[in-house]
Structure 1
Amino acid sequence: MTPAGLAACQVTVSYGRQRVLDRVDLHVAPGETVGLRGPSGSGKSTLARVLALLHAPDVGHVTLDGRPVAGARHRLPAAVRTRVAVLFQSPRAATDPRLSLTDIIAEPLRATGTPPERARDRAVELADLVGLTPDLLTRRPHAVSDGQLQRACLARALVHRPDYLLCDEATAMLDASTQAHLAAVVTDHQRQHGTGVLVITHDPALMTRWATRVVDLPAPDGVPPTTGPAR
């Protein structure tokens, strides 16, 4: 029987003639925090996008609780794609500069047909959870700091109560106090909902504190990835 969790199964991805991932396997169990390490060019972010159901692999597949997922993005039913959320490194690249923070947080709800009032209430609830004060919610990205905008992005990622959360260098651009706060929010959400978390980071201290198991991706011409405890 295939174990519950989010898994990449023999995933291969190429961009043109460059093979970025070659037959990669990775499994994140419910409630588990898996760290993903590797040198630049090893395909960490590409693997995160595949697992987030944003990019379909050339070969191999993703499974959700043992069921293969065919397709990516809006080709998938909302009930499937909303089970996985991703928090990227750059909040400014991941947000529409024309939207207020409230609208950024509520964006996934509106995309799945949630009534505007319910979407707004949920956005306000999550804004408070991630430490955004009410006066910030009407502002647009240019009027807030990177840390404040990343808090809004985390709230957006949690808006559907995802079963799996992928953090791709999500704290790299933040000061230490904001890093600690966002990590605490994710950990609390994980404890309450049994969320599986994947953490990609170059910060050894953060990896040690956060991940219970670490997967190492090799450079593109290296050997298959190895798994070990966080150290």
Structure 2
Amino acid sequence: MISAENVTVRFGDHIVLDGKDFAVPTAAISGIYGRSGTGKTTLLRLLAGLRRPDSGTVLFDGDPLAPVGSIAMLDQHPRLVCNPRWTLARIITEPGDITRRRVDPVLFARRTGLDRELLSRFPSQVSDGQLQRACLARALVQQPRYLMCDEPTAMLDPIASADVVTMLRSIAAGGTGIVLVSHDPDIIDELCSTTTELL
């Protein structure tokens, strides 16, 4: 479990998070929602180990440091986190390349509903929904214990959004702990077993 206890984050004189608690169990989807500017993404970055709180503690299975490769991120803007010069196949297999592990991109494309014919294309040649599927496949290649999702359906049409929601349910059922950040309480209510609203 990832646990954040009494965490506070400041940007200059501005307090973004003030004494917040949050827990991320495995095999469940935990939701964070609220208006823009309330600290949702900041809390997600704390839980992902990408930032330390100014006060309070974040523990990863009781340790202050997350094990390498145990946490994956799914961003709301897939085009900002993908190398435009890489094919979708290379984007998907990137975690395997880093760990020198052979990965079959077709297998992971199939798991996320991405047409294998798209694997040779570049980000500019596919839709946002197709690229987000590739990003989700890349996260699955990493085999994380926890998956952090920052507004993963914000840029998608309703059909692509529904597909991502279905995949997140399946990933959680397989034992992965998921944190879902959204400004949409309906998605949070539909998917999450526990929710936290940031005001």
TM (normalized to structure 2)? 0.92
User: Residue 40 in 1 paired to residue 36 in 2?
Assistant: yes
Q: Distance in 2 between matches of 1:95 and 1:61?
A: 31
In structure 1, distance between residues paired with 2:97 and 2:11:
32
Residue of 109, 130, 152 corresponding to 1:127: 109
- Which residue in 2 is equivalent to 1:160? 142
What corresponds to 2:133 in structure 1? 151
Residues 1:114 and 2:95 aligned together: no
The equivalent of 2:24 in structure 1 is 28
In structure 1, give the amino acid aligned to 2:4: A
Question: By how many angstroms is 1:98 displaced?
Answer: 1.4
Structure 1 contact 33–196 (Cα < 8 Å) conserved:
yes
**Structure-1 separation of matches of 2:8 and 2:84:** 34
Q: In the alignment, is residue 99 of structure 1 matched against residue 86 of structure 2?
A: yes
Residue type matched to 2:91 in 1? I
> RMSD of the TM alignment (CA)?
1.6
Does the CA-based 8 Å contact 1:53-1:81 persist in structure 2?
no
1:81, distance to aligned residue in structure 2 (A): 3.1
Structure with bigger RCO (C-alpha 8 Å, 6+ apart): 2
Instruction: Please give the secondary structure, in 2, of the residue aligned with 1:102.
Output: helix
* 2:4 is the alignment partner of 1:8: yes
TM-score, structure 1 as length reference: 0.80
Distance, in Å, in 2 between the alignment partners of 1:19 and 1:98 is: 39
- The separation in 1 between residues aligned to 2:24 and 2:8, in whole angstroms, is 18
Structure 2 unmatched ranges of 5 or more: none
Q: Which residue of 1 aligns with 2:64?
A: 68
Shift of 1:83: 1.1
One-letter amino acid of the counterpart of residue 105, structure 1: I
Q: Deviations over 1:75-114 (max 9, x none)?
A: x7xxx13111111111011111111111111112222x22
Q: What is the deviation of 1:17?
A: 3.1
- 1:86 equivalent among 47, 70, 73: 73
In percent, how many aligned pairs have the same letter? Answer: 43
Counterpart for residue 73 of structure 1: none
What code does the residue aligned with 2:68 have? R
Counterpart position of 1:199:
180
> For 1:91 and 1:16, how far apart are their aligned partners in 2?
30
- The CA distance in 2 between the partners of 1:17 and 1:96, in whole Å, is 36
Per the alignment, in what secondary structure is the counterpart of residue 30 of structure 2?
strand
